[in-house]
Structure formats: C-alpha cells, structure tokens
C-alpha cells in the first residue's frame, strides 16, 4: 500500500544532523520519499515506529533557535496536515540541583508543572539588559493521549523496566559505524561548582577540562548503572545558548526548581504545534560545556522517544484532532483566511529577492505600458494584451524593474480583478513571486483589504498544493 501525506500522524523535529541520524537509525521501517511540494523547503525522512507513521525533519544546518524551529514546524504541518502531535528530540543542557540529580547522558522530558505546560519560554537578552528576568510566555501542553502515555512509561521506568538500552543496542548492531553514539565510557562526567569557571589547559585543547581544578568538582554518589535516568519537569527554551553556571542557576532559580534543562527550539513550536520535548543531557549549560557527550545524549533522547511511541496506541492517535488541517479551512471566513495566509507567508523563502536585471525580460517596456493602461484606466485592453502575450508564448512570470509580475498589477487593477486574476492563474502566473519589496500578489490583496481577491488566490494556492479545496471560480466563491 502506498502511503500519502495524510497517513503521517507524528511530526518529529530535530535541531542537529547528529540527532536526525539517531532518529533515522531507530526507525522500524523507512518509507519511500513523497514528491516534495515546491513551497516546502524542509527535507523529510519518512518511516515507521511501533506502527506510527512518523515524518522527521531537521532544522537547516547551522540555523538553530526558536524561529527556525517554528518555520520548519509550520512547513511540516502545511505539507502533512494530519499530524496529531509533535516530538522535539535532541540534546539539551542539564540543570543539576540538590533536588534533581541530572547527569550527562540522562534524559529530561517536558512535563506540565503548575501553570506551565512543560516548556517555559524566556528571553535571556532582556534578562541581561534589564538586570532582571523576564518570562515570555506559558506554552501549550501536549494532548492528553501524550501525557497519559508519558505516565505509563514513567511507571514502567519506576519499576525498573526500560527499553532504552535495548533500542541503543539495536541501533549500534544495525549500524556498526555509529560507534560515536555509544556510551562514552572514556569521557568523564564532571560537574563543577557553579562559581568555578573553566580553565584552558594549553596542551589539551580549549574545551578540555584537564586544566580545571578537580577539587572544585561537586561530589555526587556513584550510580549503580550507566543506564540513563529519566527526569520529568520543565524545559526552559530561548534563543541564546546558556553557557554559564551563574546564569543557568539564576534563571532556573527565577523559574523555579523544576527547570531541568535549557534548550533553544521548543518555544518556537509549542503554541502552534503541541509536542513532547525530549532532551538528552549533553552538558551542564556552564563554561565547561563541550561536545564529548553530544552523540550519546542524542541517542538516549531518541531511544526514549521511541519507547514513548511504544506506549501510544495508533487508534488513540487517530482520535486526536489534527494540529491544523489547513486544507479544510475556508478562505472566505475571516479567521480561517488569516490562518491560510499565515501558512502561505511561512511557505515562502525567507527575505526579499535580490534584484536581477537579467531576469527582467526585454519586452517589459511594452508590457508595462499596457499594464499601466489598465492600472489607470478602467477599460484597458486586457484581453488583447493577454491573448497576445500568451499566444506568443511570453513568460507570464516576467518581472519588471520593481520586481513585479503581471499578477501583481492585476491584483491592483481598477475593475474585473477576479476575472483577470483567474485568467492569469489559468495561464500559469505564479502567486508566490515576491517583488523587490517582498510582496507577493497575495500580500498586495491583503494590504488593499480585497477579501474577494485574497480568498480566491488562497483557495487557488490550497488547490495547487495537491489538496483540492473546492472548485476555483471567477467570483471567488
């Protein structure tokens, strides 16, 4: 049976390629890729874990942070509109405290605490500038099906039943080349006192703690096993890397003792994309932070997420409402049109197109003259112009010196806008082209408050995404 986009119910997001490597390696089955929608810039890995169809995407290389995560999630939801909930799986900085014995290679899972849904967004920049902490928002908690599966898994772990070692072992057996993801037995787990900063030992590399004073290491009891301990609580999410124990402890003190990890993506997801955040602890968010534990931490987080999916029934997942099925939205309803418009904007490339005169066609002068005629006189020779250009095979997506295409002008035409817009779309005009100010024809309709034209364009956009959203007619209804 061939799967379609609508068969995928779990959206899995990684921030780093090494996290995605673990996700791919722990799939029970890998599915063939589906044709990519032109406006979706994510790269997906599709597969199956415990009969759940999972779609995996990774943030663009080197671009971390909540905004990047939000863009990836929006595009994922726009393409895979039947996703029920998300998993954000990867590494994070641990927040050890007398109450929470968080160690390297442990797992921290977001869990609602008091008024928080599991993830707390903070703005570290403002915290520093104003000398005070500013909490930015309380983010949505995941659906109940997710939380009850977490409870079940938690109780299994309390009984000493964990499948994490099994999944790690299975991954290493199937992919013997992934040795760097094994437990880093030769690396130490050193937690230094908060007030003791990293010292560089010239011969050992900047990130090595060989030059650091061992008498300042916090004494912690030896554990019986190297298997990861799973902690449940709050995850603090912001756009800055926390790499100072003083900042870490101050922020977590202000947020409350339940903050167990700092990371940089989840806050971009939780509002529009309810998800469970799973963080393998790779450092202590202090100045001693290095990469020694990253690969293993990514692997344990992935193994936890896989075990979590073993506790979620496929049937229950089917019953969760879609996060957002934009194809079922109706662009003629104000609030729904806003949502589709948001998705349309998010689907476009970031930034404004560079001016490139070589792409502007030599016929632009003639064309512009005609266009200006329509623009300023209600009775322009529309049909003649269009027939001539289309019959002669000219490119309807030609730009002029402002980066505008004929469709941009038609949206601003004085009369019969819908008829003209429809004609151009039928002939292959592209409504996603931005002018040199970053406006697409859809944006112009938005600025003009032309609801009919904008609804029409958005309906056509939805239809063009391979999900027919009703017949497109000249009157936009």
> What are the residues binding Zn ion (CB under 5 A)?
198, 209, 212, 288
Residue 238 CB, nearest approach to Zn ion (Å): 23
Q: How far is the CB of 141 from Zn ion (least distance, A)?
A: 36
> For Zn ion, which is the closer residue by CB, 205 or 468?
205
CB of residue 94 vs Zn ion: minimum separation in angstroms?
15
Rounded to a whole number of angstroms, the minimum distance from the CB of residue 288 to Zn ion is 3
CB closer to Zn ion, 286 vs 450: 286
Q: Which is nearer to Zn ion, 88 or 209 (CB)?
A: 209
Shortest spacing between CB 152 and Zn ion, in angstroms? 39
Q: Which is nearer to Zn ion, 209 or 230 (CB)?
A: 209
- Considering beta carbons, is residue 102 or 269 the nearer one to Zn ion? 102
Q: Which is nearer to Zn ion, 170 or 211 (CB)?
A: 211
Q: Which residue, 103 or 198, has its beta carbon nearer to Zn ion?
A: 198
For Zn ion, give the closer residue by CB, 290 or 332: 290
Q: How far is the CB of 457 from Zn ion (least distance, A)?
A: 57
Q: Which is nearer to Zn ion, 140 or 290 (CB)?
A: 290
Least gap, CB of 219 to Zn ion (angstroms)? 17
- Shortest distance (Å) from residue 289 CB to Zn ion: 9
Query: What is the C-alpha to C-alpha distance for residues 54 and 44, in angstroms, rounded to an integer?
Result: 10
CB of 58 to Zn ion, least distance (A): 30
């Amino acid at each position: 049976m061939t799967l379609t986009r609508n068969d995928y119910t779990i959206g899995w997001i990684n921030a780093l390629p090494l996290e995605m490597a673990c996700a791919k390696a722990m799939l029970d089955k890998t599915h063939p890729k589906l044709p990519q929608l032109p406006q979706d810039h994510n790269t997906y890995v599709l597969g199956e874990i415990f009969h759940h169809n999972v779609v995996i995407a990774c943030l663009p290389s080197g671009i971390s942070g909540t905004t990047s995560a939000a863009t990836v999630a929006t595009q994922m939801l726009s393409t895979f509109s039947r996703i029920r909930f998300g998993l954000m799986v990867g590494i994070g900085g641990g927040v050890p405290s007398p109450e929470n014995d968080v160690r390297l290679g442990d797992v921290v899972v977001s869990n609602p605490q008091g008024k928080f849904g599991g993830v707390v967004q903070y703005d570290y920049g403002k915290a520093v500038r104003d000398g005070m902490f500013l909490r930015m928002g309380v983010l949505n908690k995941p659906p109940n099906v997710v939380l009850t599966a977490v409870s079940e898994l938690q109780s299994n772990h309390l009984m000493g039943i964990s499948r994490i070692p099994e999944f790690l072992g299975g991954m290493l057996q199937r992919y013997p080349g992934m040795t760097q993801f094994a437990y880093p037995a030769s690396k130490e787990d050193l937690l230094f006192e908060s007030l003791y900063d990293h010292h560089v030992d010239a011969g050992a590399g900047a990130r090595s703690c060989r030059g650091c004073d061992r008498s300042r290491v916090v004494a912690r009891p030896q554990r019986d096993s190297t298997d990861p301990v799973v902690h449940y609580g709050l995850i603090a999410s912001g756009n800055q890397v926390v790499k100072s124990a003083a900042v870490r402890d101050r922020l977590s003190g202000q947020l409350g003792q339940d903050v167990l990890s700092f990371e940089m993506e989840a806050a971009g997801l939780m509002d529009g994309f309810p998800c469970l955040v799973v963080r393998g602890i790779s450092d202590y968010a202090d100045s001693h932070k290095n990469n020694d534990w990253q690969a293993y931490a990514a692997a344990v987080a992935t193994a936890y997420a896989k075990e979590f999916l073993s506790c979620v029934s496929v049937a229950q997942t089917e019953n969760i409402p879609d996060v957002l099925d934009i194809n079922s939205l109706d662009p003629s309803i104000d609030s729904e049109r806003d949502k589709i418009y948001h998705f349309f904007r998010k689907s476009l490339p970031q930034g404004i197109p560079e001016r490139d005169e070589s792409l502007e066609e030599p016929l632009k002068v003639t064309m512009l003259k005609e266009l200006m005629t329509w623009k300023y006189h209600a009775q322009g020779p529309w049909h003649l112009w269009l027939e001539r250009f289309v019959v002669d095979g000219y490119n309807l997506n030609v730009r002029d010196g402002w980066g505008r295409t004929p469709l941009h002008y038609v949206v601003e035409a004085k009369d019969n806008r819908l008829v003209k817009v429809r004609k151009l779309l039928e002939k292959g005009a592209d409504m996603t082209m931005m002018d040199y100010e970053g406006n697409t024809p859809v944006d112009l309709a938005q600025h003009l408050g032309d609801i009919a034209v904008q609804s029409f364009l958005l309906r056509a956009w939805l239809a063009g995404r391979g999900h027919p959203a009703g017949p497109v007619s000249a009157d936009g209804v």
